[in-house]
Amino acid sequence: MFKKSPATLEVRTAVPDDVPGILTLIGQAYPGFGNYSAGQVSGQINNFPEGQFVAVLAGEIVGYCASSRIDEAIALSSHDWATITGNGFGSRHDATGDWLYGIEMAVDQRQRGMRIGKRLYEARRVLAERLELRGIVFGGRMPGYAKVKAKVDGPDDYLARVAAGEFRDQVISFQLGNGFKPIGVLPRYLPSDKASEGFAAHMVWRNPYVDPNEPVAFRVPRDVESVRLATVQLQARAVKDFAEFVQNVEYFVDVAADYRSDFVVFPELFTMSLLSFEKEDLSPMEAIDRMTEHREPIVQELSRMALRYNINIIGGSHPTRTEDGSIQNVAYVCLRDGSVHAQEKIHPTPNEAYWWKIKGGSSVDVIQTDIGPIGVLICYDSEFPELARRLVDEGARIIFVPFCTDNRQGYMRVRYCAQARAIENQCFVVLSGNVGNLPGVDNMDIQYAQSCILTPCDFPFARDGIAAEASENIETLTIADVNLADLTWARAEGTVRNLADRRFDLYRIDWNRSAPRDLGPPEEKPRGSKAPGGG
């Protein structure tokens, strides 16, 4: 009897685990040209999961197309790639947008003849029809233009003659063959695209099932995506040994889990209690070396608790020497699936840099969890708005801020900035701080904290933008339920729409491409010249 064989080519929606394969594909499809950062591709997927597609052949990603929803007034007007795509993160996605915008298309050139590009375009078309959008629009590169520009009267004439069949352009001709029509030329779409001299064809496919004269009004459903957050306001106390410290931490993990919390967050430097049972006074460098010895056992214990209690643990922060020998302040995030992630503090305070020789990290990225992407900003990092914006561009909807402040002025700096991050990024921000004192341990003499769970300020949220807060300077656990769907609604239909209303034409964050895992925005270099490419 004939046995059905498994499919060898599959087109499906992309997931975060596909990011490495997508980056490899783009590197192969456009050799010698700039690639995305992992964060940019993560942002595309996290900001609009159903709009990103991969083609998988025998387990290998051989095609990728990225999309977002955009309002007609933006989609059909003149624009450039960086502005309309949110610098490649897909962060301009509008859940009420009536057009599907093509951000990227890449196909493994070794698989030519399998119509992978056509299949990906068809997946987009099916999505646009299912969502009852007006159509699909994008800027298509014109890589044949520079070679023949002496024979034509500018880019508009070139596009018209390609459409008439007088010239063949390996990208535009492909898109014409897939049912797209040009409505004009976009100047300076990709300024670094020398083959196209920066121009792009403004390409459109109109959904035949939607009346172009019928006004449409998409609304975001008021769904419920409930997440329970717990923040520990931890008493800094002396312990007799490592086991007693773990017992103190596990108590709060156990209680948070009993309340069925999805996340529990501990304060910055909460592991400094481990220096309290040292027999001799330690210099700052000796203290760092001792904390480095505790790093692996701490991570092992937090990961054990996350698995045992079925809860995601944001492990405050731990000062340590990292693998490259530098001293850094690191948050270890232990998820209930057993994975462990590390986020370094980017901005050490002057005190940390002077006394502890702590150096700032070089990368901040979202962490994928079973609840969705999250971000961690350690204390002082919350006072730099670029970092939170980076995390939200990558799709974070919750940002955790472990902090350690010794007086009210320091606490209020963190608190006010965290509230600003919640408002300007339309996300939830969770603070966790130490209280009490720890005699004999440098930098832990006195503590001031009022841990809290902050929200944007709009109708679906708490009146004062505070979902919950602890009493000042007592050890306690604070728990609140938040609804992630409220963020989706607020970003699309809120009284103000801070993310959507950003002026990408005037300003954007340009990350240092020398930093690990970030090679810079793709518009800095041409995206290659082979079909299909663009759109």
Reported as a single tens digit per residue, the pLDDT across 8-19 is 899 999 999 999
Tens of pLDDT, residue by residue over 471-512, are 999 999 999 999 999 999 999 999 999 998 999 888 888 876
73 pLDDT more than 70: yes
- Is residue 104 flagged as an active site residue? no
In our burial notation (b when 16+ CB lie closer than 10 A, e otherwise), range 73-87 reads ebbbeebbbbbbbbb
Euclidean distance between CA atoms 154 and 232, whole angstroms: 64
What integer pLDDT is reported at residue 438 of this predicted model? Answer: 86
- Which listed residue (379, 404, 452, 457) is catalytic? 379
Q: Which residues pair with 56 in a beta bridge?
A: 10, 61
514 pLDDT more than 50: no
- Which listed residue (268, 469, 475, 523) is catalytic? 268
Q: Is the pTM of this model over 0.75?
A: yes
Tens of pLDDT, residue by residue over 334-383, are 999 999 999 999 999 999 999 889 999 999 999 999 999 999 999 999 99
Confidence bin at 529 (pLDDT 50/70/90): very low
- Is residue 379 flagged as an active site residue? yes
What integer pLDDT is reported at residue 279 of this predicted model? Answer: 85
- Which listed residue (65, 104, 301, 345) is catalytic? 345
Of 47-51, 108-112, 162-166, 495-499, which gets the smallest average pLDDT? 108-112
In our burial notation (b when 16+ CB lie closer than 10 A, e otherwise), range 414-424 reads bbebbbbbbbb
DSSP state of 438: -
Helix (H, G, I), strand (E, B) or coil at 26: helix
Nearest C-alpha neighbor of 58 from the set 1, 2, 116: 116
First to last CA, the chain: 45
Q: Are 395 and 372 in contact, with CB atoms under 8 Å apart?
A: yes
What integer pLDDT is reported at residue 523 of this predicted model? Answer: 35
Mean predicted lDDT score pLDDT of the chain? 92
In our burial notation (b when 16+ CB lie closer than 10 A, e otherwise), range 205-237 reads bbbeebeeeeeeebebeeeeeebbbbbbbbbbe
- Is residue 334 flagged as an active site residue? no
